[in-house]
Structure 1
Amino acid sequence: MDHFLYRDGVLHAEDVPVPEIAAAVGTPFYVYSTATLTRHFKLFDEALAGMDHLVCFAMKSLSNQAVLKTLADAGAGMDVVSVGEYLRAKAVGVPGDKIVFSGVGKTAEEMKVALQGGIRQFNVESEPEMEVLSAVATGLGREAPITIRVNPNVDAKTHAKIATGKSENKFGIPISRARAVYAHAAALPGLKIVGIDVHIGSQLTELAPFEAAYQKVAELTEQLRADGHEIIRLDLGGGLGIPYARNNEAPPLPTDYGAMVQRTLGHLGCEIEIEPGRLISGNAGILVSKVIYLKEGEDRQFLILDAAMNDLIRPAMYDAYHDIIAVNQGDAGAEPATYDVVGPVCESGDTFAKGRAMDRVGPDDLVAFRSAGAYGAVMSSEYNSRPMIPEVLVHEDQFAVIRARPTYEEMIARDTLPEWLVSD
C-alpha cells in the first residue's frame, strides 16, 4: 500500500494534489510520502516483534537527509556502504551504535572515520579488509566490532545485476571457508567478533532462497560457537521485493518474512538485524514528468517526456518495469492509448517502456512513474548537462522541497578551467 491515490480524478500525494507540486517546483521531480515511509518501516519492525532486533534502512536505496530523519525518528537504524552515507546518517542525528557499515571496498580512511564517530559494526567482506581494519583499530586504540559476510552460494532468483549470494558474485567469503576466516579474525588485534552477516540479493519475490541461506547461517552459528566464538548477532541483509505492478507480482509480506526468520533462526537467541531498502522506500516515491511531444512513428506513437534516463536509470540498466500513469485520469470507459514512453536524451536506451497501454495524454499533461522511490534519485546524474531534479517530501497536506534543482549557472560553475586555458 502507498499514499498516492486519485481523488476526483487527480493524483494526490497524501493530501496534496500532484499538479500543485508541479506548479511550484517544475517538472520532472521526485516526491516521497512520509506516511508510506513510516508505514513500511513499522511493518518490518512489527514483523520481528518477539525477537531482539534492529531494522536498519539501506541508505543506498534513498539517501536524502529528510527521508533519513523521518525513518530515524520512527526508530530505524541505518545500513551504509560509504563514508558519505555514514556522514549523512550522522548529520541527521543517527547514533553510531545504530549504524552498520557494509560494502566490499571500505578504505582505511573510511574505517577511521567510522571508528572515531562510533559504529555498531563493520560487515567485513574479505580477509584483506579484516587485516586493514585490525591495523586501523589498533592504531587508534579502538576495538572494531565485526561480523563477517558469508556467501552461501544460494540463487536468489532475481536479476543478475542485483544477485549477491552466489559463488560467482564479488560479495563475502565462501561459507565453506568461514570457520578458518573466523579463526583468523579472532587472532587479529583490535577486532571483536559479534556475529555473522549474509545478504543474497535484491528484489526477491519468494521466501525459499532466504530460508535456504538462513538455514546455512544457523548451522554455521552452531559451528562457530563450538569453536569458541561469541555469536550474538545475525545480520540478514535486505532484499525482500516490492510489487512493480507487472505480471501480478506479489512478493511475500514482511509478516511472512518475520515468521520465517523466527522459524529458522529464533532458537539461536541472537539479535536479528535486517537491512531493507527497496521495500521501505520503493513505493514511497513517484517520479512526476511532463509530456513534451506526442510523435507519430511509422508503426507506433512515441510519448516524449521531460524526464530521462539520467533521472531514472532503472529501465535502461535493469530492464526495470515501472507503472506509468496519467496524473489526471481520463474519462471512465475511455479507450487507453499505446505508447513507447521515451525521454529526450540522445540514447536509444532512453526508453522507459515500449507498447505501454495507459490513459491517453498529450503535450503538457503530467504522468507519474510509480515505485520510483528506491534507486531513483540516488542513481541519477547530469548526463547531457541536465540538472539534477528536485526531491519533495509530503506530510499530510504539506510539502517541502528537500533537494532543490540547481540552475544551469550553478551546474556549469562547478567546472574549473586550468590556468593555461584562461585568457588574459
Structure 2
Amino acid sequence: MDHFLYRDGVLCAEDVPLAEIAAKVGTPFYCYSTATLTRHHALFEEALSGLDHMICFAMKSASNQAILKVLANLGAGMDVVSGGEYARARAAGVPGDRIVFSGVGKTEGEMRMALDGGIRQFNVESEPEMAVLSRVASEMGQIAPITIRVNPDVDARTHEKISTGKKEDKFGIPITRAREVYAAASSLPGLKVIGIDVHIGSQLTDLEPFEQAYLKVAELTETLRADGHEISRLDLGGGLGIPYARSNEAPPLPLDYGALIKRTVGHLGCEIEIEPGRLISGNAGIMVARVIYVKSGEDRQFLIIDGAMNDLIRPAMYGAYHDIVPVVEPAPGQPQARYDIVGPVCESGDTFAKSRDMPPVQAGDLVVFRSAGAYGAVMSSEYNTRPLIPEVLVREDQFAVIRRRPTYEEMIARDTVPAWL
C-alpha cells in the first residue's frame, strides 16, 4: 500500500495534487510520501515484535537527509556503505551507535571517520579488511566492534546484478571458512567480535532463500559459540522485494518474513538487525515527468518524456519494470494506447518501456513512474549535462523541495579550466 491515489480525477501524493507540485517545481521530479515511509517502517517493527531488534535502513536505496530524518525520528538505525553515507546519516541526526557500516571496500579514511564519530558495528567482509581495521582502531586507541559477513552460497533467485549470496559473488567470506576466520579475528588486538552478518541479495520475492541462509547462520552461531566466541548479534541483511508490476507480483509480507526470522534464529537469544531499503522506500516514492512529444514511427508510437535514463536508470541498467500512469485519471473503460516510452538522452538504452499499453496521453500531459523511491534519485547522474532533478517530500497537505534542481551555471561552474588553455 502507498499514499499515491486518484482523488477527484487527479493523482495525489497524500493530500497534495501532483499537478500542483509540478506547477511549482517543474518536471521531472521525485516525490516521496511521509505516510508511506512511516507505514512501511511500522510493518517491520510489527514483524519483529517480541525480539530484541533494530531496523537499520539501507541508505543505498534512498539517502536524502529528509527521508533519513523521517526514519530516524521513528527510531530506525542506518546501514551505510561509504564515508559519504556515514556523513549523511550523522548530518541527519542519526547517532553513531545506530549506524552499521557495510561494504567490501572500506578505506582507512572511512574506518577512521566512523571510529571517530561513533559506530554500532563494522560488517567486515574479508581478512585483509580485518587486519587493516584492527591496525587503524589500535592506532586510535579504540576497539572496533565487528560482525563478519559470511557468504552462505545461497541463490537468491533475483536479478544477477543484485544477487550477493552465491560463492561467485564478491561479498563476504565463504561460510565454509568461517571458523578459521573468526579465530583470526579474535586474535587481532583492535577488534571485538560481536556477531554474524549475512545478506544474499535484493528484490527477493520468495522466502525460501532467506530460510536456507538463516538456517546456515543458526548452525554457524552454535558452532562459533562452542568455539568460545561471543555471538550476541545477528545482522540478517535486507532484500525483501516489492510489487513493481502490480498486476501479477505478490512478494512476501514483512509479517511472514518476521515469522521466518523467529522460526529460524529466534531461539538463539541474539539481538536481530535487519537492513531493509527497497521495501521501506520503493513504493514511498514516484517520479513525475511530462510528455514532450507523441511521435509516430513506422510500426509504433513513441511517447517522448522529459525524464531520462540519467534520472531513473533502473530500466536501462536492470531491464526493470515500473508502472507508468497518467496524472489525470482515465475514464472507466477508456481504450488503451500502445507506446514505447522513451527519454531525450542520445542513447537507444534511454527506454523505459516497449509496447506498453496505457491510457492515451498527449504532449503536455503528466505521467507518473510508480515504485521509484528506491534506487532512483540515488543512482541519478548529470549525463548529457542534464541537471539532477528535484526531490519533494509530502506530509498530508504540505510539500517541500528537499533537493532543488541546480542551474546550468552551477553545474558548469564546477569545472575548472587550466590556465594554459
Alignment TM-score, normalising by the size of structure 2: 1.00
**Mapping of residues 333-412 of structure 1, within 5 Å:** 333-412=333-412
Amino acid at match of 1:197: D
What are the within-5 Å matches in structure 2 for residues 88-237 of structure 1? 88-237=88-237
Q: Could you list the runs of 5+ residues in structure 2 that have no partner in the other structure?
A: none
Q: 2 CA distance for matches of 1:86 and 1:135? A: 21
Alpha-carbon distance in structure 2 between the residues aligned to 1:376 and 1:203 = 15
TM-superposed deviation, 1:331: 2.0
**Distance across 2 between alignment mates of 1:246 and 1:97:** 38
Alpha-carbon distance between aligned partners in 1 of 2:337 and 2:76, rounded to the nearest angstrom? 43
Corresponding residue SS for 2:209: helix
CA deviation after TM superposition for structure 1 residue 247, in Å: 5.6
Corresponding residue number in structure 2 for 1:28 = 28
Q: CA deviation at 1:45?
A: 1.1
- 1:18 corresponds to 2:43: no
For residues 118-156 of structure 1, the C-alpha deviation after alignment (integer angstroms, 9 at most, x for no partner) is 000000000000000000000000000000000000000
Query: Partner residue of 1:260?
Result: 260
1:302 maps onto 2:307 in alignment: no
Q: Counterpart in 1 of 2:85? A: 85
Q: Distance in 1 between matches of 2:146 and 2:164?
A: 20
1:275 match: 275
Distance in 2 (CA, whole Å) between partners of 1:315 and 1:132 is 38
C-alpha distance in 2, partners of 1:3/1:330? 19
Q: Partners of 1:358 and 1:10 in 2: how far apart?
A: 16
The range that moved more, 247-256 or 80-89, is 247-256
Q: Distance in 2 between matches of 1:9 and 1:376?
A: 27
What CA distance in whole angstroms lies between the structure 2 residues aligned with 1:284 and 1:92? 19
Q: Distance in 1 between matches of 2:235 and 2:401?
A: 34
Select between 135-144 and 247-256 the one with higher mean Cα deviation: 247-256
State the one-letter code of the partner of 2:301: Q
SS at match of 2:281: helix
Q: CA deviation at 1:246?
A: 5.1
Partner residue, 1:51: 51
1:246 touches 1:321 (CA, 8 Å); kept in 2? no
Aligned to 1:61: 61
CA deviations 1:10-51 (Å, max 9, x no partner) are: 000000000000000000000000000010011001100000
Q: Distance in 2 between matches of 1:318 and 1:64?
A: 23
Deviation at 1:9, TM superposition (A): 1.2
Q: Residues of 2 paired with 1:104 and 1:414: CA distance?
A: 30
Q: Secondary structure at the match of 2:294?
A: strand
2 CA distance for matches of 1:103 and 1:65?
A: 21
Determine if contact 1:287/1:368 at 8 Å carries over to the other structure: yes
The separation in 2 between residues aligned to 1:299 and 1:236, in whole angstroms, is 49
The residue type equivalent to 1:231 in the other structure is I
Is contact 1:232–1:271 with CA below 8 Å preserved after alignment? yes
Supply the distance in 2 between the matched residues of 1:247 and 1:137 (Cα, whole angstroms): 51
Q: Which amino acid aligns with 2:269?
A: G
Instruction: Give the partner amino acid of 1:118.
Output: G
- Please say which of residues 52-61 and 412-421 is displaced more in the overlay: 412-421
Distance change in 2, residues 1:124/1:57 (3 Å): same
The answer to whether the aligner puts 1:71 opposite 2:71 as a matched pair is yes
Cα displacement string for residues 229-258 of structure 1 (whole angstroms, at most 9, x for unaligned residues): 000000000000000025611000000000
Question: What amino acid sits opposite 2:249 in the alignment?
Answer: E
> How far has the Cα of 1:399 moved from its partner?
0.1
Equivalent residue of 2:420, what SS? helix
Task: Tell whether the 8 Å contact from 1:61 to 1:277 is kept in structure 2 after alignment.
Answer: yes
Q: For 1:206-234, what per-residue CA distance to the aligned partner results, in whole angstroms no more than 9, with x for missing partners? A: 10000000000000000000000000000
4+ runs deviating over 4 angstroms: none
How far 1:369 moved relative to its partner? 0.1
C-alpha distance in structure 1 between counterparts of 2:83 and 2:14, whole Å: 33
Q: Partner letter of residue 106 of structure 2?
A: K
Give per-residue Cα distances to partners, 1:368-422, cap 9 Å, x unaligned: 000000000000000000000000000000000000000111111110101101x
Output the amino acid matched with 1:271: E
Whole-angstrom CA distance in 2 between matches of 1:392 and 1:418:
37
C-alpha displacement of 1:332: 1.9
Q: Distance in 1 between matches of 2:31 and 2:364?
A: 19
The letter for the 1-side match of 2:312 is: L
Q: Which residue of 1 aligns with 2:292?
A: 292
Q: One-letter code of the match for 2:73?
A: D
Q: TM-score, normalised by structure 1?
A: 0.99
Residue 330 of structure 1 deviates from its aligned partner by 2.0
Q: Which residue is equivalent to 1:313? A: 313
CA distance in 2, matches of 1:343, 1:246: 23
Count of paired positions:
421
Structure 1 residue aligned with 2:239: 239
The one-letter code of the counterpart of 1:169 is D
